[in-house]
Structures are given as structure tokens and as C-alpha cells.
A and B are shown apart, each in its own frame.
Chain A
């Protein structure tokens, strides 16, 4: 009897070890590539997205533990289109399965073209210029676009009942196309719009703001640029004090970082924001995302991390599906990614034939007493907007 039990135990142990061994043999490690501006003028936003990608890798390794594992190889494009192309070529040479990252439409354009030539999927949230998807590259995907930002800005301005708006915008691809889209929509609704383009080297906005104050005399100032542009514009406005009812911006503005760094400038200013601050997460995935982010970086997640996480997680899930279908090495990843239909931290994501996520709509937040309160649309709002109200 004892001998029989011993035999059974030995056979069971052998069977178990063979089974585990077989499982281990099936586990695959996938190497993703990431090309991002970690230095140069876009370093701040590049690093934000990089953090979101790291969170996605960490969470995917946890959820696919024992089956698959994921690594990311990151190359800094130094905020240079030429170096973005070189980074993609290097990543392709190193055998990555796809690329996640990219910031700035002018960098993403040539970088994703290089990815297309190498047959690699390139997924991003850092370039919203319409031209990027109009190229029709089958390997290009993005989870956000100009339309989503424009709809939010237009919706809020309409809700304010503004009659005259001055749009102050940076002369880059994404910012120009967004400003023009907002201009067209507002003009179509009989709102008078003044357009003021500026260059990235502008650091003194007083002459421009003086034109807004003395010539345009708007109800609302709409800003389309980046963090240091917003600070310059708001400082000029605070000095000149134009008689406006609200100051509205887009990305990189209604953030915890801006609330902490420039509390005197941000009060009552609006910007696009998926999340309120302090962050309130309720969905299980979002709670895990916030906890992982906190564990890795010892801070609350911001919108850049959120977008970086979503794009990378969608890519990872598509990689796994393509691998299971046996099409990963045969160019099946773009098709698998195109089948995506997921409710994510930024809302529902599906991709059209050009790789654009047509479901993307943004929300508007307002800085109120050191917090960011979501104020538009009403179904996403967690507070009321202070209107009319300006930072000065």
C-alpha cells in the first residue's frame, strides 16, 4: 500500500512538473518599442507618457503572469523629427513587435512613416493633427484626436453664452488645426472670433494680449498651446486685465502640476481634463492603475500617464490576441488592433480604417481652490463652474 502511494505520488509529481514545464515553455516575452521626447522642449509631456507606458507594462505583466511577459525598450527622440525616425529604425532593427509613444504631430508624422515602412504598428496619444490619420497608413493608430478636444472647448464656450472669443494659439500643426477647427465651429454659430497666432519662442505675451484687450474686447480668451505658453499668456493677462468672463485652454492646463506650480495664475482657468483633481477613480481597472502609478512614481497619475497607459494596454491586448491567433509574425497585429472595442480610462475606444478613435470626446475641468473640478459635459461634471470668473 505504501509502495503504491509512493508510486502514485512520484507519477503525479512527474506529471505536474511536465505540465508546468510545458506551461513555462509556452510563456512568451514580447518586446515593445517606445520612441518619446525625454529631453528637449517636449521632455515634460514625453516623460508623462513614458510613466503611463511603464504602468501598462507593470499591470500587463501582473495580469498575464505565467502566460506572457512584456518589456519595453525606450529611445529618446530629443524632441527632434529626424531623431524620431532614427529611433523607430533602431527599434525595428532590435526586433520590437510594435511601437507605443510619440509626442508632437511634427515628430509623430515622420516617425510613424518609418514604422509603416518597417511594417510595425505605431500607436500614440501624443499627436492630434488630422493629417496623421488622413494618410491612411494601416499600421498607424491613435486614441485621441483634434475633434475630441475641439468639441469640448466649443461645447463649454457655447454653454457660457459667449458672443466674442479671442483664440490665442501656437503655430504648430496640432495647435493650429485645433484653433482653426474651433474658429470654424464658433463662427458658424454666429460668435465673433479673433485669431492670434504666436511662435514657440514667444515669452512676452503683453503686446499680443494688449491687442486682445483693446481691439477684440472678447468675452472669452481661448488658449491653444503648451504649459509655458499658458503661463506667459496668463501672466500677460493678469498684468493687463482685459475685461473677459473666462479663460479657456486645452491640454496640459487643468492638471495637478499646474495647480501646484502656479496657484496664483490658475484659479478659475478651464482646460481639458479626463479626471478631476484630487483624482477620483471608481472602476477596478482605474483603481489598480492609480495604485500602480503611485507605487512606481510616488505621485497621483495625470492625464499624460493615463493616455500612455491606455494606448499601451490596448496594444498589449492586441499583441496577445494576435499571438494566440498565430498571426503576430505574419502582419496580423494591425488587423487585431482594428478589432478593438474597449471601455478604457478615457472612454470607449474603437479604431476606424485610418486608425483614428472616433469615439474620443474630452471633458473640461476648472481650477477651483487648488483643485480641478470637472464642469463639462454635465453628465461627467463633479461640480459647478465659476462663471464669470478669471484669475485676476
Chain B
């Protein structure tokens, strides 16, 4: 029983790391622009497919494909921003419609280029198992994604708290008009946020390609999961995203172990509703929450 519980907690922790890596880009853009980018999951998927194309066509290790994927996803992200910035009225609702549409376009572009087959890395190192104390089991890809994700999130958190641009992001998130009067250029800061989100999406795509399977319909699933975690965390909170994602990962994993795998999504949603019932602003969302 102890073995089962420990493995469930360990698997949940690693799953939470995946979820957080996908969700943190969405949370950052929301924190800056008050925009939910519903094409975020498709951007993650785009990065995964770039890694797949690089590995299959050129025999490149997925790690080496990250810079190429970053350029492509960064360009796609900049296009999303350029279109979003043209919305002058009812930005929150219109941006939802726009990004949802862009997500569909991206999904179908991926489907047209790479077909509907499922893919994952063929590099055996990522699939090899890592065993800790003869009790905890994981794939190398999962542990690498978890550690890499933590480092990236810590970097984003440090950047938000200790750099001028990071403080400008927080200022913009807190009060756009006041930040502009204090000399912050909103457009520059917003596009910077989109590019940082593209970096996070690229890493998430790499992590999914090496540790899971990718297929064209996955983008929408990732967006929904990232959205739930962003709301659970408190809209725009980076540490909240990590804690919320791990909570969801652990509760899902424990549900699989002690109840049924078919109930894991339900358990995650119950946790989500309970947190929102107790704290309607989410775990760390009292007001403008970026970087808390």
C-alpha cells in the first residue's frame, strides 16, 4: 500500500510539472494583457511537431530542435499578438473568439502538414526508466521535463520580480494607465510577454514530444487543462500555477490508484470547484496576482 501511495504521489508530482509548464505561458499572457490565449495549447503542439520534424527528417535530437522550434513558435506567437493588438473593443471577449479561431487554424495546419498519426520521440534515452530507492519509477523524459520546467518557471518568477521589464509587466498588470504614465511602453511589454510565453510553450512542446505522444487534436486538450490550472492558481499567478498544477496532478494520480482511472478528470474538476468555492479568486488570485 505504501509503495502504491508513494508512486502515486511521485507520478502526480511529475504530471503536475507537465501541466505547470503548459499553463505558465497562458498565465503570463493573461497577467499582462488580461487576455486568455486559447491558441496557447496549439502553440505548444506546434513546438512538439517542429521537434518531430527535425528528428524524423534530419535525425536531430529533440533537444537540438528547441532553438528552431523557438523561432517558429515565437513568430507564430508574435502573429497572434499582432492580431490581438488590433482589437479595440470588448477586448476580453473578442480575444477569446480570435484566439479560439487561430487555434483551429493551427490545428488544421498541423493536420495538413503532418497528418493525423500519433508521434513521439524515437530517442531511447527519453523512454528509459529512472528508479529511485527501488520504489519510485519514472521515465528520464518526465524527470528532465520536471526539472527543466521548474528552472524555467523560477527564471520567469525571478525576471518578473527583479528585472526592469519584469517589474514593467507587473505594473502593467496592476494598472495599465498608471504604468503608461510612468513611462512603460505597453506594446513593448506585451510583446515581450508573448515571446516569453512562446519560450515556455516551446519547452512544453519539447517535454510533451519526448514524454508523451502528440497528435493534431491535442492542442485543444492542452489549452483546456492550462486554462483550468490558470483559474485554479488565481488568474496570472506564476507560483500559483505550479502549486495548482501539482495539486491537480497529485489528486488525479491518487484517484487512479485508489478509485478508478476513469474518475481522474472528475476528481481534478471537483478539486477545482472546491478551491473556487472556498476562494473565488483562486489559490493566489486576490487582485492582480502576477508573480505572487
- A residues sitting closer than 8 Å to B (CB atoms) are 38-41, 43-44, 46-47, 79, 171, 196-199, 201-208, 210-211, 214-215, 227-228, 231-232, 235, 238-241, 257, 261-265
Contacts and interface: CB of A to CB of B under 8 A. Distances in A.
Nearest to A262: B120
Contacts of B138: 206, 239
B104 to A, nearest CB: 9
Nearest to B108: A39
B117 interface: yes
B32 interface: no
Contact of A235 (B8, B107, B127): B127
Contacts of B265: 199, 201
B4 A238 contact: no
Contacts of A207: 4, 7-8, 11-12, 253-254, 256-257, 261
Contacts of A201: 221, 264-265
B137 A47 contact: no
Contacts of B254: 207
A295 to B, nearest CB: 19
B124 interface: yes
Contacts of A202: 256, 261, 264
Interface string B120-132: 1010100101000
B118 A228 contact: yes
A266 to B, nearest CB: 12
Interface of B: 3-4, 7-8, 11-12, 14-15, 107-108, 111, 115-120, 122, 124, 127, 129, 137-139, 212-213, 215-217, 221, 253-254, 256-257, 260-265
A47 B115 CA distance: 9
B118 A227 contact: yes
Contacts of A79: 217
B116 A43 contact: yes
Given A203-B212, A207-B11, A235 B139 contact: yes
Nearest to A392: B129
B7 A196 contact: no
A226 to B, nearest CB: 9
Contacts of B108: 39
B193 to A, nearest CB: 28
B120 A231 contact: yes
A214 to B, nearest CB: 6
Contacts of A39: 107-108, 111, 116, 216-217
Contacts of A199: 261-265
A43 B212 contact: no
Contact of A214 (B4, B122, B260): B4
A208 B137 CA distance: 13
Contacts of A206: 7, 11, 137-138
Nearest to A44: B116
Interface SS of chain A: helix
Given A47-B115, A199-B264, A264 B124 contact: yes
Nearest to A170: B262
Contact of B118 (A40, A196, A238, A261): A261
Contacts of B12: 207
Contacts of B264: 198-199, 201-202
B249 to A, nearest CB: 8
A29 B14 CA distance: 58
Contact of B215 (A44, A241, A264): A44
Contact of B137 (A171, A203, A227, A239): A239
A210 B117 contact: no
A126 to B, nearest CB: 14
A315 B139 CA distance: 48
Contacts of B129: 238-241
Contacts of B253: 204, 207
Contacts of B261: 196-199, 202, 205, 207-208
A188 to B, nearest CB: 24
Q: Which residue, A228, A238, A264, has most C-beta atoms of chain B within 10 A?
A: A228
A122 to B, nearest CB: 23
B116 A47 contact: yes
A197 B259 CA distance: 10
Nearest to A202: B261
B12 to A, nearest CB: 8
Nearest to A258: B118
Contacts of B107: 39
Contacts of A227: 118, 213
A232 B211 CA distance: 9
Contacts of B115: 44, 47
A38 B115 CA distance: 10
A253 to B, nearest CB: 12
A211 B257 CA distance: 7
Contacts of A47: 115-116
B118 A41 contact: no
A359 to B, nearest CB: 31
Q: Which residue, B116, B117, B129, has most C-beta atoms of chain A within 10 A?
A: B116
B123 to A, nearest CB: 10
Given A44-B215, A235-B127, A235-B139, A210 B116 contact: no
Given A43-B215, A196-B260, A232-B213, 17 more contacts: A39-B107, A43-B217, A44-B115, A196-B261, A197-B260, A198-B260, A198-B261, A198-B262, A199-B262, A204-B15, A206-B11, A206-B138, A207-B8, A207-B12, A207-B257, A210-B137, A232-B212
B213 A228 contact: yes
A240 B139 CA distance: 10
Given A202-B261, A228-B213, A210 B4 contact: yes
A46 B216 CA distance: 13
Nearest to B15: A204
Contacts of A231: 118, 120, 213
A142 B212 CA distance: 34
A350 B212 CA distance: 42
Contacts of B119: 261
A77 to B, nearest CB: 13
A171 B122 CA distance: 29
Nearest to A198: B261
Nearest to B268: A201
